[in-house]
Amino acid sequence: MILKVYTSLLLLFLANSVWTRTVRQIYDDLDPEHWSRYTSECPQECFCPPSFPNALYCDNKGLKEIPAIPARIWYLYLQNNLIETLSEKPFVNATHLRWINLNKNKITNNGIESGVLSKLKRLLYLFLEDNELEEVPAPLPVGLEQLRLARNKISRIPEGVFSNLENLTLLDLHQNSLLDSALQSDTFQGLNNLMQLNIAKNSLKKMPLSIPANTLQLFLDNNSIEVIPENYFSAIPKVTFLRLNYNKLSDDGIPPNGFNVSSILDLQLSHNQLTKIPPINAHLEHLHLDHNKIKSVNGTQICPVSIALEEDYGYYGNIPRLRYLRLDGNEIQPPIPLDIMICFRLLQAVVI
């Protein structure tokens, strides 16, 4: 199972480099005689590198409008401009677009012409971070794989906006204005292949409802979450990386086995209000508990397996896999208790 998880994550994080490598192999076969034609089609406000003819660089140009995009373009870079509107006209010939970066502009929902995004049938990556959006734009291209909407003013998610996005693997909504009421039980319906969901730095007080079942990475840092519902993670049985730093979790807000989940390999609970280490699973590899209110650590109590049984099974048994433990910023005094080392034999670093 762990091998499958790491394989999926590798595909997610290396997607950009895979695309670039594949496309460059195609470019290497292009005849240099055609480069002059590519240059003549290039909008005067932009840069069209001869060695990368399917890319159009219009970033950092002070643009207020999007220029006409040539038909050959796959990768469009428009970040760091003053663009306020997205209309259909510049994209009439751009039927092969795979990637659009519109980060750091001034785009509002009213400035997006109806249907302009959904008509980009081949679009896979859409970057709209650091704009002026107040809700998730809709409708979206059905083939989209990554949607990045961080650092906007989003407080609303239209009903059914994600229902047809079966290929979406990454959804980034961090640092917006989402309240619990914005995340209904059907908000994420249709995201059957989502791997990473980032809702950090919003205004949530509760764990979001109906997270897609295939989610591997769930980021909920910097909210105001106080309670983990009973059996919450049974609905997302593949979750591997869980970040809940900078929330308001206390001991009473965590069920007895709330984090005793075999799929979780990296658990981050820094900057909360815990006074003790919650029960963990033997499969957990990284545990961040710094800057809580923990006064002492008892290795026998927190060990996910019996130390006596661990002695019997040795390295061939189900020994805990914890490799990294962070406890600084609490009220714990060194040295590290011996029973911690006896239980977690694979520990490589303890910060205390």
| pLDDT above 70: residue 4 | no
Q: Tokens at residue 261, please?
A: 């989940």
| pLDDT above 80: residue 39 | no
| pLDDT above 80: residue 272 | yes
Average pLDDT over residues 77-85: 98
Q: What is the pLDDT of residues 114-165, one digit of tens each?
A: 999 999 999 999 999 999 999 999 999 999 999 999 999 999 999 999 999 9
322: Cβ–Cβ under 8 A, 6 or more apart, which residues?
Answer: 280, 284, 285, 286, 287, 344, 346, 347
Average pLDDT over residues 187-208: 97
Question: Would you state the pLDDT for residue 6?
Answer: 53
For the ranges 26-40, 41-55, 244-258, the maximum mean pLDDT occurs at: 244-258
Rounded distance between C-alpha atoms, residue 88 and residue 117, angstroms: 8
pLDDT band for position 299 (cuts 50, 70, 90):
confident
Mean pLDDT lowest among 20-29, 122-131, 204-213, 285-294: 20-29
| pLDDT above 70: residue 10 | no
pLDDT band for position 23 (cuts 50, 70, 90):
very low
Question: Would you state the pLDDT for residue 34?
Answer: 52
| pLDDT above 90: residue 20 | no
| pLDDT above 70: residue 96 | yes
Question: Would you state the pLDDT for residue 18?
Answer: 40
- What is the SS3 string spanning the chain? CHHHHHHHHHHHHCHHHHHHHHHHHHHCCCCHHHHHHHHHHCCCCCECCCCCCCEEECCCCCCCCCCCCCCCCCEEECCCCCCCCECCHHHCCCCCCCEEECCCCCCCCCCECCCCCCCCCCCCEEECCCCCCCECCCCCCCCCCEEECCCCCCCECCCCCCCCCCCCCEEECCCCCCCHHHCCCCCCCCCCCCCEEECCCCCCCCCCCCCCCCCCEEECCCCCCCCCCCCHHHHCCCCCEEECCCCCCCHHHCCCCCCCCCCCCEEECCCCCCCCCCCCCCCCCEEECCCCCCCCCCHHHHCCCCHHHHHHHHHHCCCCCCCEEECCCCCCCCCCCHHHHHHCCCCCEEEC
pLDDT band for position 221 (cuts 50, 70, 90):
very high
| pLDDT above 80: residue 31 | no
Question: Would you state the pLDDT for residue 335?
Answer: 86
Rounded distance between C-alpha atoms, residue 348 and residue 352, angstroms: 13
Share of the chain above pLDDT 90, in %: 80
Question: Would you state the pLDDT for residue 309?
Answer: 54
Mean pLDDT lowest among 103-112, 228-237, 306-315: 306-315
Residue with tokens 């059957």: 192
Please state, rounded to an integer, the average pLDDT across all residues of the chain.
89
Q: What does residue 267 show for φ and ψ, rounded to 5 degrees? A: -120, 120
Average pLDDT over residues 279-292: 97
Average pLDDT over residues 244-269: 97
| pLDDT above 80: residue 9 | no
Size (the chain), residues: 352
Question: Would you state the pLDDT for residue 336?
Answer: 84
> Between these two residues, 115 and 300, which has the higher pLDDT value?
115
For the ranges 4-13, 93-102, 294-303, the maximum mean pLDDT occurs at: 93-102
Question: Would you state the pLDDT for residue 38?
Answer: 54
Burial of 239 (0-12, 13-18, 19+ CB in 10 A): buried
